[in-house]
Chains A and B, each alone.
Chain A
Amino acid sequence: MTAPETAAVATTAALALGDDALVLSHRLGEWAGHAPVLEEEVALANIALDLLGQARVLLSTVGDEDELAYLREERAFRNLQLVEQPNGDFAHTIARQLYFSTYQHLLYAELAAADGPFTGLAAKAVKEVAYHRDHAEQWTLRLGDGTEAGHERMQRACTALWRFTGEMFQRVDGLDVDLAGMETAWLESVRAVLHRATLTVPEGPRAGAWTAGAGRQGVHTESFGRMLAEMQHLHRSHPGASW
């Protein structure tokens, strides 16, 4: 990481990964006090805290973490559109978790094994995201293969979020990973889980026309602005305050 260009691409990648973690962490935080049962609420909060920790490390490598989190406009965020999707019902949250944590686990496992700017972070975080993935898979199985109502909701959620999943495998400057290989592994894993959960693997497109996926370029979906307004409100009302 000596040449300026290397630093610049590492910044692009750190922002992308950091924003993913920050935004999803905030979404999961919205469950506090509202989860179906107390134990599950603690689990979601735990995952949110893990992600917030990852976001802090990643954003700190780019600049001041608070400024980056609280003072950037929507267009400056580089997170995937998948992670900014509203929580919806519990099945939506679980489908979002399943899609994202499978991706994040594959990504961090590869980054941890390689020698690059993210090796240290990935080596720590890969254990956390393995747990997130397991949690999401367990719930997908129980909802999909549980009651009729649960199955229906889980299917609806998996199908609704499917179009956001192609974006995860777009190239990001500074992320030196085998995206094609990761995508194959991701599809294989998600298909296997959905199959075991007696769910139908969605057939819609995941990339190209009629799909989402410009979050990495700063183009976001409608609900994201509202989420940011809530997240940034206090900091913007009292600029420069310390806490």
Chain B
Amino acid sequence: MTNTDWPLWEVFVRSRRGLSHTHAGSLHAPDAEFALRNARDLYTRRGEGVSIWVVPSSAITASSPDEKDPFFEPAADKPYRHPTFYEIPDGVKHL
């Protein structure tokens, strides 16, 4: 077999009733068209009404674990920054 160095793609799927695309996994494909087709086979079992996004893994920039502290630890001693005191009305479904 000759070289098949297909790039890696990340797959995001929105299910039929879902509100947002969720990362489902990754796969190898020669191009975006085939990445979509492979994602359909691998992650959706071809269920109708779903939306798929494929992104070349190289296009994603991730936060670095080294920067964890300044990135993800907000000042917990300022409670007014965290709107957690409110009762959520029953009518609000997607928050």
Contacts and interface: CB of A to CB of B under 8 A. Distances in A.
Given A131-B46, A138-B33, A142-B30, A37 B4 contact: yes
B46 A39 contact: no
B2 A149 contact: yes
A113 B37 CA distance: 27
Nearest to B2: A149
Nearest to B40: A131
Interface string B41-60: 11000100000000000000
Task: Report the interface size class on chain B.
Answer: 10 to 19
A42 B41 contact: yes
Nearest to B6: A37
A46 interface: yes
Contacts of A142: 30-31, 34
A142 B31 CA distance: 10
Given A42-B41, A43-B41, A36 B1 contact: yes
A196 interface: no
Interface in A16-51: 36-40, 42-43, 46
A38 B42 CA distance: 10
A195 B92 CA distance: 55
Interface in B1-54: 1-2, 4, 6, 27-31, 33-34, 37-38, 41-42, 46
A39 B1 contact: no
A138 B4 contact: no
Nearest to A38: B28
A142 B27 CA distance: 19
Nearest to A90: B1
A43 B28 contact: no
Interface in B37-90: 37-38, 41-42, 46
Contacts of B34: 39, 138, 142
Among A37, A39, A40, A43, the most chain B Cβ lie within 10 Å of the Cβ of A39
Contacts of A135: 37
B36 to A, nearest CB: 10
Contacts of B41: 39, 42-43, 46
Interface of A: 36-40, 42-43, 46, 131, 134-135, 138, 142, 149
Interface of B: 1-2, 4, 6, 27-31, 33-34, 37-38, 41-42, 46
Instruction: Across the A-B interface, give the 3 residue pairs with the lowest CB-CB distance, nearest first.
Output: A39-B38, A46-B41, A42-B41
17 contacts: A38-B28, A39-B27, A39-B28, A39-B34, A39-B38, A39-B41, A42-B41, A42-B42, A43-B38, A43-B41, A46-B46, A131-B46, A134-B37, A135-B37, A138-B33, A138-B37, A142-B30
